[in-house]
Amino acid sequence: MADIIQLLPDHVANQIAAGEVVQRPASVVKELLENAIDADAAMIKLVVKDAGKTLIHVIDNGKGMSGTDARLSFERHATSKIRSAEDLFSLNTKGFRGEALASIAAIAHVELKSKQEEDELGTHIEIEGSEIKSQEVTVTPKGTSIAVKHLFYNIPARRNFLKSNTVELRHIIDEFHRVALAHPDITFSMYHNGSESFNLPKSNYRQRVVNIFGNKANEKLVPVEEETEVLKISGFVGKPEFAKRTKTEQFFFVNNRFIKSGYLNHAVNAAYDGLIKDGSHPSYFLKLTVDPKTIDINIHPTKTEIKFDDEHTLYAILRSSVKHSLGQFNIAPVLDFDRDSNLDTPYTYKQRQAITPSVEVDRDFNPFQSGASMKVSPIKTFKREPVGQWDSLYVGLESKGTQTHSNFNEVQFESQSHDGALFNDETSLKTANTTYQLHNKYIISTIKSGMMILDQHRAHQRVLYEGLLKSMTIKEAVSQQLLFPLQLQFSTTEMEQLKELREDLEHTGFVFSEFSNANVEITGVPINVSESEVERILDQLLSDVQDEVPDANFSATDLLAKSMAKSLAIKTGQSMTAMEQEHLVNSLFACKAPSVAPDNRVTFITMSVEDFDKKFM
């Protein structure tokens, strides 16, 4: 039998490796940004076109490469970071396996320009599908500029699996955030389709968080600092009242490398036990520094998962540190039976002496004393008008009374008396017996076959959803103008999402007068939305969009209607009047699909008389 095992060609092997390293444009962004950081760059610029499908360009002012190094960097397993297997357990750099550039060059057109500071000229290399097309000297500034064009051009099947530009751009921004947060001492900037998305100057860690997530993030942050022999923790956690429905603001950095760890995330959540509602997630931006020998970062192709030597100790330290910070800054409640905070003396009044009030009384004052003049009180002056004859008060009453009595027989009385009831007994009884609210959650209504039990929250969601969808489709929503414009602040990423949703929001009744880089001014809201609910509705909408970003085959209008219906629907525990219950039941069965909520959950169930009969057997 002939031999059937053979070595793969290099270009095939590189494409297979690219499947592990390059999953989408965001993977290329991550590798190129980390290479720039390893090159000791102080300024890094990212330029993206068509969400990375057309161009990903990273420019840095780092050390640069010589002509030989620039050519060798595109070979598989070529790296300057490690020399032996032992070096894998003492890594302080981002990349080390030498697969990134080789994998990227196998599936894209790559153009590299690089120059070292001591060289007069740099190197210019062009590669297409692992094949070097040209290499020549060129005039270029110090550092490295690498452009990746037409990603997956030679693998159409992989390119077809990419999502819409909105989804891919979201992943790119996530990777940009992770790298920028880990290195606040480096200046970062990002441009998408010619417009500036981020401009992050060199700053401290707190300011970097604020620059990325907006000015309102500053009031959320609680500092965390702890240093032990095993672990050093620094960074910030969010206040419990700002907990989000999504995990978009949760960042762990181990030795300045972003990681995902469900175990450490559980430690932080344990510190918030009892402080946040179920289903909410706290924000945290925590940097952990450990001995490189106690971790293994080579267990995952993307290097976002790390194996710790002693996870239990790290868990206990992290949980205690976060809990201590929440208590230290009076975020968590303090259990003290001997102290009532309501009786605390304000700080500015602690050194002041109490002043005894004085009361002065005029003992000679007589309000019944007659005469034009009276004694003057030392406190107030009372002026009394002279009283005439008392008999004059009754002058004319006799004649008026006689006239009134003479006309008394002309008074007419109503033929029927009303007791003030809006409905007669029959109507009132019928209305009262039609529906009944159970535990402020379910509405029970009688039907011919028996009884119907309706979930008030889900039913109202269905009613609002179809109404909002109709308003956005026909574009004839009714809005109410606000007396004073409402000013809201959002992060750069959230503003980009709001700009995409602005047209659909306006069709629901929102009126925007200003849309700047970080501020939104609202002058009108939908007719059934109160001013206090606007920020909560928009936050819920943004979290829903981040969870399931509208794809090419997914309707953004539908997502917006579902999100707003969920925010505006009657909540479980809210009491409803009999008329409101009746109106909700009637509105539900006027819908096109009354049996399910927008998220396809059942809105009501029925129980027949036979079902009750079986229970009593």
Within-domain flag for 411: no
pLDDT tens-place string over residues 453-462? 999 999 999 9
Do 267 and 118 lie in one domain? The reply is no
Task: Tell me: pLDDT of 483 over 80.
Answer: yes
Q: What is the CATH number of the domain that holds 192?
A: 3.30.565.10
| pLDDT confidence of residue 343 | 60
Domain end (from 328, 344, 376): 328
pLDDT of residue 293: 83
Query: What pLDDT score was predicted for residue 430?
Result: 45
Q: In this structure, are 220 and 185 located in the same domain?
A: no
Same domain, residue pair 161 and 235: no
**491 plus 524 within the same structural domain:** yes
Residue 276 lies in a domain: yes
Q: Is residue 575 situated within a structural domain?
A: yes
CB 565 within 8 A of CB 468: yes
Contacts with 556 (C-beta within 8 Å, 6 or more apart), sequence order: 500, 501, 504, 550
Are 449 and 486 members of one domain? Answer: yes
What integer pLDDT is reported at residue 266 of this predicted model?
A: 92
Looking at 200, 232, 249, the residue that finishes a domain is 200
Question: How many Å apart are CA 249 and CA 147, to the nearest integer?
Answer: 30
Residues 186 and 220 in one domain: no
Q: Residue 243 gets which letter from DSSP?
A: -
Asked if the structure places residue 553 within a domain, the reply is yes
pLDDT for 215-228, tens place per residue?
888 888 999 999 98
| Residue entry with tokens 């080789």 | 102
Q: What are phi and psi of 86, to 5 degrees?
A: -65, -25
What is the pLDDT at residue 347? 59
Mean pLDDT of 521-526: 87
| Nearest-angstrom CA–CA distance, 443 and 578 | 10
pLDDT at 127 over 80: yes
78 and 227 share one domain: no
Domain count within the chain: 3
For residues 14 and 160, membership in a common domain is answered with yes
| Cα three-residue angle 130-134-135, rounded to 5 degrees | 105
Q: How many CB atoms lie within 10 A of CB 11?
A: 13
Answer yes or no: is 74 within a domain: yes
> Averaged over 504-522, what is the pLDDT?
82
Residue-level pLDDT at 7: 82
The larger pLDDT score, comparing residue 334 to residue 569, is at: 569
For residue 436, pLDDT beyond 60: yes
- Give me the pLDDT at residue 449, please: 86
Q: Is the pLDDT of residue 18 over 90?
A: no
Using a 10 angstrom Cβ sphere, with 0-12 exposed, 13-18 middle and 19 or more buried, the burial of residue 298 is: middle
Greater confidence (539 vs 45) lies with: 45
- The DSSP bridge pattern shows strands 187-192 and 43-49 to be parallel
Looking at residue 372, its pLDDT comes to: 45
Query: Model confidence over 183-242: pLDDT tens digits?
Result: 999 999 999 998 888 899 999 999 999 999 888 888 889 999 999 888 899 999 999 888
Question: Which CATH number fits the domain that encloses residue 286?
Answer: 3.30.230.10
pLDDT at res. 534: 85
pLDDT at 58: 95
320 has a pLDDT exceeding 70:
yes
Confidence of residue 426 (pLDDT cuts 50, 70, 90): very low
Give the range among 145-149, 318-322, 446-450 with minimum mean pLDDT.
446-450
Of 270, 295, 328, which closes a domain? Answer: 328
CATH number for 524: 3.30.1370.100
Please indicate, yes or no, if residue 386 is contained in any of the structural domains: no
C-beta pairs of 398-402 under 8 Å, 24+ apart in sequence: none
pLDDT tens-place string over residues 33-70: 998 998 899 999 999 999 999 999 999 999 999 888 88
26 plus 57 within the same structural domain: yes
> Contacts by 423-427 with C-beta closer than 8 Å and gap 24+?
none
d(CA 591, CA 603): 12
Domain of residue 29: give its range. 10-200
Residues 18 and 113 both lie in one domain: yes
Domain assignment present for residue 369? The answer is no
Claim to verify: residue 531 and residue 590 sit in the same structural domain: yes
Q: Which residue has the higher pLDDT, 327 or 336?
A: 327
Region 308-318: mean pLDDT is 88
Same domain membership, residue 189 and residue 216: no
Query: Which has more pLDDT, 17 or 577?
Result: 577
> Which of 94-108, 142-156, 565-579 has the lowest average pLDDT?
94-108
Q: Which residues contact 327 (CB under 8 A, 6 or more apart)?
A: 334
Within-domain flag for 459:
yes
* Average pLDDT over the chain, rounded to an integer: 80
